[in-house]
């Protein structure tokens, strides 16, 4: 992003600033301010609309510090600049600096595209936790799960067993339960935030020195039997 | 077919291009070993196809059956809940089903994980069938395979049987998973 700003001619920047962006708070600042100090005198500030901006800039502290410096510089030497709303005279600039200083602490960080899935997953987990809180489950726990199966339509099915593995994937975080049922080993993978699961309870814990207990498949059935 | 049989014994990551679709359900389990742990070899369980030996878990008389054909349209093979045609390789001396007979069976336990609509998966430690019919010489075309030949079913049974209309098996089961 920053490099593309370097290559933009000043005229283009002029056009960019003419975007009808109304925001009382000065939310974003292009990084070219820090990269291209020569054009700073003509363009004091770019204010980009928080939602309407195409550039999606994220602010790091370096830019913020430099912004503060430039704002103070521009407080005295304020030529007429390109159609940025609200900046009128030197006196107004000082006020704006203060206002921007306060606005900066209230400003929400720009959401990067790469963070979107993480945020969505967190929100979905919060919703699920409100309905049913999920205990802390680790490999080696012996848990009991009460599951509602729409096919069964009877009492809740109960699954007991040792947690062989836990795969973290946001809302689709799953645990793999192993148990010997009627002589045959059965492994079931449960998504722990599923609404079908009515209860998860940790019964006990077995000390294991692995994150995934696939070795239990080859061991005696006695090790996977839980009353 | 040879490639399919070979892939059944493949270890480690699912590098088989042709059958990689089948392993989309196994990706969850194989992701843990994707990162270059060649030493811990997890078996990639696949379909039940011609040549698969299966246990018989009812009291119809047969003990071991070798799959001849999977009656599923899927050319890759049968999974949990599908019907297969098998040849009885081993049987108890006094039973309804004798050695060498050709029988129909429904797969009640499969080592390949079966995904469910709620996002869970179930897999068993072995492959097992329940005999639901005997193939006659007269070539009578049977469509429905609902009635098991035996009177008891051993071991756990998944509730996929309900969807496959195998209600008698569910009724006889010791434990429904």
Q: What is the pLDDT of residues B32-45, one digit of tens each?
A: 445 555 445 667 78
Rounded percentage of chain B residues whose pLDDT exceeds 70 = 73
pLDDT by residue (tens digit) across B64-87? Answer: 999 999 988 788 899 999 999 999
Interface confidence (ipTM) of the complex: 0.73
- Give the Cα separation of A178 and A142 in Å (integer): 9
Residues contacting residue A183 through CB under 8 Å, at least 6 positions apart: A221, B154, B155
For residue A181, give the nearest of B32, B121, B175 by CB distance: B175
Distance CA A44, CA B131 (A): 83
Nearest to A186 among B28, B42, B124 (CB): B124
Reply yes or no on whether the pLDDT at B105 is more than 80: yes
**DSSP letters spanning B14-79:** ---STTTTGGGTTHHHHGGGTTT--SS--B----B-TT-EEEE-BSSSEEEEEEEEE-SS-TT-B-
Q: How close A109 gets to chain B, by Cα (Å)? A: 33
Q: Average pLDDT, stretch B95-107?
A: 93
Percent of chain A clearing pLDDT 70 (strictly above): 52
Per-residue pLDDT at A59 exceeds 70:
no
Tens digits of per-residue pLDDT, B53-63? 999 999 999 99
Token representation of residue A59 = 């602010």
User: Is there a contact between A185 and B155 if contact means CB atoms under 8 Å apart?
Assistant: no
What is the mean predicted confidence (pLDDT) over B117-121? 91
Chain B environment of A190 (Cβ under 8 Å): 120
Q: Tell me whether residues B154 and A182 touch, CB distance under 8 A.
A: yes
Contact B80, B70 (CB under 8 A): no
Q: Which fold has domain B53-176?
A: Ribosomal Protein L14 (2.40.150)
Q: Which helix (H) or strand (E) holds B89?
A: strand B83-91
What's residue A12's pLDDT?
Answer: 44
Quick check: A162 pLDDT over 50?
yes
Highest mean predicted confidence (pLDDT) among A33-42, A183-192, B145-154 = A183-192
Specify the higher pLDDT residue, B128 or A38: B128
Query: Chain A: which residues have CB within 8 Å of chain B?
Result: 149, 151-152, 157, 165, 167, 172, 174, 176, 181-191, 194, 196, 212, 214, 217
Residues on chain A touching B40 (C-beta within 8 angstroms): 214
Locate the domains of chain B by residue range.
2-42, 53-176
**A192-201, B36-45, B85-94: the lowest-pLDDT one:** B36-45
Nearest neighbour of B119 by CB, restricted to A176, A181, A191: A191
The pLDDT score that the predictor gives to residue A150 is 76
């Amino acid at each position: 992003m920053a490099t593309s700003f370097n290559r933009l001619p000043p005229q283009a920047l002029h056009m960019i600033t003419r975007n009808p962006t109304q925001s009382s708070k000065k939310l974003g600042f292009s990084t070219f301010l820090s990269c291209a100090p020569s054009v700073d005198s003509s363009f004091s500030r770019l204010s980009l609309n928080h939602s309407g901006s195409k550039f999606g800039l994220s602010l790091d502290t370096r830019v913020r510090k430099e912004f503060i410096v430039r704002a103070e510089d521009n407080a005295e030497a304020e030529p007429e600049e390109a159609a940025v709303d609200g900046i009128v005279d030197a006196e107004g600039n000082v006020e704006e600096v203060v206002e921007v200083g306060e606005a900066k602490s209230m400003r929400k960080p720009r959401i990067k595209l790469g963070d979107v899935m993480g945020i969505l997953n967190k929100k979905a987990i919060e919703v699920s936790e409100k309905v049913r809180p999920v205990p802390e489950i680790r490999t080696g726990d012996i848990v009991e799960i009460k599951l509602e199966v729409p096919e069964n339509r009877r009492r809740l099915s109960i699954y007991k067993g040792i947690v062989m593995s836990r795969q973290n994937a946001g809302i689709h975080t799953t645990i793999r339960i192993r148990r010997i049922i009627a002589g045959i080993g059965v492994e079931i993978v449960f998504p722990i935030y599923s609404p079908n699961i009515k209860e998860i309870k940790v019964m006990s814990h077995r000390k294991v020195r692995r994150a995934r207990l696939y070795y239990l498949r080859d061991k005696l059935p006695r090790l996977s039997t839980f009353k | 077919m040879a490639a399919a049989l070979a892939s059944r014994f493949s270890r480690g990551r699912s590098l088989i291009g042709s059958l990689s679709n089948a392993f989309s359900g196994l990706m969850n389990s194989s992701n843990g070993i994707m990162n270059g742990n060649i030493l811990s070899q997890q078996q990639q369980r696949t379909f039940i196809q011609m040549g698969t030996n299966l246990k018989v878990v009812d009291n119809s008389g047969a003990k071991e059956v070798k799959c001849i054909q999977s009656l599923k349209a899927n050319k890759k093979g049968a999974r949990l809940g599908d019907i297969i045609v098998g040849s009885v390789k081993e049987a108890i001396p006094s039973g309804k089903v004798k050695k060498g007979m050709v029988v129909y069976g429904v797969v009640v336990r499969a080592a390949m994980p079966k995904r469910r609509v709620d996002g869970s998966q179930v897999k068993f430690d072995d492959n097992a069938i329940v005999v639901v019919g005997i193939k006659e010489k007269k070539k009578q075309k049977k469509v429905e395979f609902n009635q098991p030949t035996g009177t008891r079913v051993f071991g756990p049974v998944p509730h996929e049987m309900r969807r496959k209309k195998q209600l008698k098996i569910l009724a006889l089961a010791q434990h429904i998973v």
